[in-house]
Structure 1
Amino acid sequence: MFSTAHHIKRVAIVGLAWVALTAASTGEQVADLIEAGKPIEAFALAQEKAGEGDPEGQFALGWFYDNGENITADKAKAAGLYRKCADKGLSQCQWRLGVMYDTGEGVTEDPKAAFGWLKKAAAQDNLAAQVSLAVMHANGRGTPVDFAKAMDYYQAAARKREPHAFYGIGILYLEGQGVAADKETAAAWFSVAAALGDESGRAITDQMLADQKTEVLDRVAAKATALYSDYVEPVRPLPTQPAEAPTEAPKGP
């Protein structure tokens, strides 16, 4: 079973993507400056807006300190900034602060506090928080083990095409956690995760399906196709080539 800390750290990288910030906002302005190769101007803007109490400015400035982007990383300062915008209800701040409490980055490790912040973010449909909560329910981290709730959070995120949610459901089937253990069904979920770009899903799919018989591969492929059609988009069968009209034999003179 993969660890909570490993998974949450991985999701943290994805969740800090600037697309999580709302359009026409401080976050978008900071993102545009970063993409334009102007990190100093981006940091200055984040610092200015954070000083004005702008929650997205606080998140952006926290991101700089969190990642050591063109400055010396300072996890404690990042956590402090995330706490300010988390208190103001910004879901990405609540999520990242929850991650830091779970992993002990910049704050004293506190799984219960982590769970509380992640739950607030998940209630705002933050996909990263939903997946993180699923992991915590599955591992009994900050909350009692509850595989049914883990599945619920994974399913909610999978319905929004979050790749790692498919991987997480695959783990539940692989380990028989809250569901009957089923390696072929697990492989199907992992395959969809891989198709959506999840590296963990790709690695475990390759491992599980190596040297399998054709009939096993066919069953997994059929399940994966059904899952992809249900959760992502319908899979249309490849068009069949029309049969060529038979050429007529040449007539005699």
Structure 2
Amino acid sequence: MKGMNKTMAWIAAALLLACTTSCLEGGSNSVESDTVGIIRRESKEGKMVMDNPFPYGPFYSPTLSKLNEGACVLVHFTLDRDAAENSSTVVRSRGYSTVTISAQAEVEKYRIARFSDPGAPDTGKVLKDEVPIKNPANLVRGYVRGYLFVEHVLNQPSDQRNEWYLTYNPDAKAQTYLGKRTYDIYLRTTKRTTGTKTAVDMAVNSAYFIKSYFEEIARKEKSSGNNEAFYVRFNYVSGFQNGKPVWSRIERAMPVQISDILSNKG
């Protein structure tokens, strides 16, 4: 991986601004941070590595060996760029950088759906056991192999588990918002298992397979003469009133570079 594409650069910048955990790159030439990724088995040595949005290539750590290929993960890692195994020659030969992982968790995978798809929730109706969302995109952690990793915030028992739904209107046209061509996507969540602990504001990470949707919009934009970027904005159910969902919108829109999507970067 020679460099970070523009969409990923924006995501990395947002992460650095919003991250509450350590994210360091100092005189020791080491990097410590959180990141997300997808597990695959590399072909040379058969090791499990993690494709991720950082510009250092795939990551390898022995702790990844117990994960299944295709698993989405969130890890806290340290990369020592002065270590012998991370010399440019070794990294080029092996095809990965070696990191130390101090914490890791699998991230649940979902797929964005059209409003018209079977099973897609009706935006005008409250779902059974629906939970209001406080922040739909507290962090956009990365776009990896067609999956968009997003951290959401909601208030609920810390041991409660949820199901997440991300949808879009395939007939919607771009809206001009702050001079940018913007498309809306719609997020909501329901209770899967009841928690017993005290309700707190908590963060939940999910990975959404969104590649086909991004490609659909990118082709539409390119055919209309836009070769730069389009923007995606999260709408979410923030509460309920008179038996109806109350929809809110996050005003910070995420840029998606058309050339990156159509060239299958990320």
Higher percent of residues as helix:
1
> Does TM, scored on the shorter chain, surpass 0.5?
no
Higher percent of residues as strand:
2
- What TM-score do you get using the length of structure 1 for normalisation? 0.26
Greater RCO (Cα-Cα under 8 Å, separation 6 or more): 2
- What TM-score do you get using the length of structure 2 for normalisation? 0.25
